[in-house]
Amino acid sequence: MTKRCVALRHVAFEDLGLFEPVLRRRGYEVEYVQAGPHPLSEQAWLDADLLVVLGGPIGVGDIDVYPWLGDEIAGIRLRLGCRRPLLGLCLGAQLMAAALGARVAPLPNKEIGWAPVVLTAEAASSPLRHLAGLDMLHWHGDAFDLPPEATLLASTPMTPHQAFSVGVSALALQFHAEVDASKIEPWLIGHTAELRAASVDVGQLRESSALQRRDMQQRAATDLLNEWLSVVDLDGRFA
């Protein structure tokens, strides 16, 4: 039976990356929807078998400039309330935290570059265990408090709350486990203004991306998503 994944995208190059072939192998049809110009209806937020909210250069604090973010947060809250499978990546994770009532605020400095995450004890029995010891791409200027009903799964020295789950049906990752390091160039182009403002050396970031252990990252991303989907797909029940 074909399943449907809706990926809510904010900029074209921040896509499902390494996660997309996993989804297609598991029988999902993948549909990208552009956030902003093409808002999802309440029913659309609920109908997808899996909904993924992807990253982007705007933030929860920009809601006055991009008022449709309020509708996005409301849609996320609706899906969370119905315990339908939901995955948030970077901005998506921040929007999930906001939907759960947690504070989202700017960091003193942006966290951009490759570095490992520190997994919590709870993560040892979660799909995130596959990321242990591997560098992940961090690219964010905001951070969120941990929602009251969430389980913390990962952190970094700069960002104490890097990943959380809510039950088994909702997973939020502040970092980019989905990114293929060999396809970093569109990020360097698309985020050039942000990189310059943050005094990030583009050449150095390109070089560090080229040095990543792509085979291990791909295997970890595949194992992470497969394990999480095996739980949320179980007999069509969403716990």
Instruction: Report the CATH number that the domain containing residue 201 is assigned in CATH.
Output: 3.40.50.880
Residue 48 pLDDT > 70? yes
Q: How confident is the model at residue 2 (pLDDT cuts 50, 70, 90)?
A: confident
User: Domain count of the chain?
Assistant: 1
Q: In this structure, what is the dihedral angle of CA atoms 62, 68, 69, 75, given to the nearest 10 degrees?
A: 170
> Hunting for tokens 């609706």 — which residue is that?
78
Nearest Cα to 93, choosing from 80, 84, 109? Answer: 80
Q: How confident is the model at residue 233 (pLDDT cuts 50, 70, 90)?
A: confident
- Record the pTM: 0.96
Chain segment 153-202, per-residue pLDDT in tens: 999 999 999 999 999 999 999 999 999 999 999 999 999 999 999 999 99
Share of the chain above pLDDT 70, in %: 97
How confident is the model at residue 108, as a pLDDT?
96
Three-state DSSP class for residue 76? helix
Domain containing 107 equals: 3-236
Nearest Cα to 71, choosing from 53, 87, 89, 49? Answer: 53
Query: Is residue 88 within 8 Å of 173, Cβ to Cβ?
Result: yes
Residue 21 pLDDT > 80? yes
Residue 235 pLDDT > 80? no
Lowest pLDDT segment from 17-26, 96-105, 225-234: 225-234
Q: How confident is the model at residue 1 (pLDDT cuts 50, 70, 90)?
A: confident
Q: How confident is the model at residue 234 (pLDDT cuts 50, 70, 90)?
A: low
> Hunting for tokens 């929860």 — which residue is that?
60
Compute the average pLDDT of residues 1-17: 95
Compute the average pLDDT of residues 192-213: 97
Please provide the average confidence, as pLDDT, over all residues in the chain: 96
CA–CA dist 70, 62 (Å, integer) = 10
